[in-house]
Amino acid sequence: MLAMAAAELGFACHVYTPEPDSPAAAVAAKAVVEAWSDSAALAHFARGCDAITFEFENVPIATAEFLAQRRPLYPGPLSLGITQDRVSEKSFVAGLGIPIAPFAPVDSAEDLGPALGRTGRPAVLKTRRFGYDGKGQAKIDDETDPAAAWEAIGAAPAVLEAFVAFSREISVIIARARDGSLAAFDVTENRHESGILATSRVPASVDDSTAAEAVAIAGRIASALDHVGVLAVEFFVVGDGPSSRLIVNEIAPRVHNSGHWTQDAATASQFEQHIRAVAGWPLLSPRRHSEVEMMNLIGAAADGWPALAAEPDAHIHLYGKAEVRPGRKMGHVNRLRPPGTGSAWGGRDRL
């Protein structure tokens, strides 16, 4: 989706990926399939680029630094390094005085007892690195044996965080340009199933002051990271109405699934904003023109595409991934309706 946005602005995208059959390669001017550690291939790739970005935060930091020495790399290694590790990310956010759930690093099964003393129960144990879509997470309730939770996440370096009894989850997708200017999209309301994003709806059912505070926090985080490009900040909302509180859950230093609605319901997409920022262009001021529900097509749900294709206001995006696997994001659909239609989307959370 980034490569397609880049092409529309006249850029020829070169993709570097260790994965054969990458969906990006199918729509890019050129693709190199090599390992993250192949310095000759990386140097050759850098020579062919004017600016470099990434769409995935698990690019090894050594690879990012190698490329950053050769070409402008946005977002820079600071954003990437901090957000690759849940402990450094949470410490960074807490250091800005922004509320997050109580947490404690857990490096061994023995650390779990003292960590639970800090968070209380229920709590969520998450691997520090490489976790996504609910992978590498285990909830610890009153009945849970902490040692079993430690084994369940693969006995890897982890962070324990207090379970947040949220009323809803929201996210802010914000772009920051090279000159530090910021442009945020409307706040998005997200519903997860088994740790995987199921739907994103806009407008979110939060009051204006909560939405404004979320955007302000996302802007502070992007500026403190000296981030260039799109950044997503996910929040838990605790309570309702003007007295509700925001707690930062997670930061993604990239375009984000909860911003996919911008492709069809806004005057500019998160992908175009990201490419503009990375290329050193000014940002647009994106406006949402419709109400929208983005629904992920996960695993076999993508086989339901013919029914979606028959819906006149449903915009389908299929990623062209070769293999359907349970839990794998295969595409998404953006369902649009005119602004002011109301709050109920009906029980259409599943195909």
Helical spans, DSSP H, in the chain: 2-8, 39-47, 61-68, 77-83, 86-95, 112-119, 146-152, 208-224, 262-265, 270-279, 305-309
CB of 230 to ligand AMP, least distance (A): 17
| Segment interacting with ligand AMP (CB under 6 A) among 11-19, 157-165, 304-312, 327-335 | 157-165
**Does 164 contact ligand AMP by CB under 6 A?**
yes
Strands 168-176 and 182-184: antiparallel
**Does 87 contact ligand AMP by CB under 6 A?**
no
268 CA to centre of own chain: 18
Kindly state the DSSP code that residue 100 receives in the 8-state scheme.
Answer: B
Pick 63 or 84: Cβ nearer ligand AMP: 84
Cα 348 to Cα 301: distance, rounded to the nearest angstrom: 13
CB of 136 to ligand AMP, least distance (A): 8
- CA distances to 175, 200, 223, 285, 307 from 180, in Å: 9, 28, 7, 14, 44
Cα 9 to Cα 275: distance, rounded to the nearest angstrom: 9
Cβ pair 255, 153 in contact under 8 A:
no
Cα 135 to Cα 130: distance, rounded to the nearest angstrom: 9
Annotate each residue in 227-246 with x if it binds ligand AMP (CB under 6 A) or - if it does not, as one string: -------x------------
Task: Find where tokens 């199918």 sit.
Answer: 26
Token couple for 116: 């639970």
CB of 250 to ligand AMP, least distance (A): 4
Token couple for 75: 């977002």
Cβ pair 181, 268 in contact under 8 A:
no
**Does 169 contact ligand AMP by CB under 6 A?**
yes
**Does 249 contact ligand AMP by CB under 6 A?**
yes
Pick 85 or 272: Cβ nearer ligand AMP: 85
Annotate each residue in 296-315 with x if it binds ligand AMP (CB under 6 A) or - if it does not, as one string: --------------------
Annotate each residue in 109-148 with x if it binds ligand AMP (CB under 6 A) or - if it does not, as one string: ---------------x-x----x--x--------------
**Does 163 contact ligand AMP by CB under 6 A?**
yes
Q: Which of 98, 101, 116, 265 binds ligand AMP (CB under 6 A)?
A: 101
Q: Name the residues that contact ligand AMP, by CB under 6 A.
A: 101, 124, 126, 131, 134, 161, 163-164, 169, 192, 195, 234, 249-250
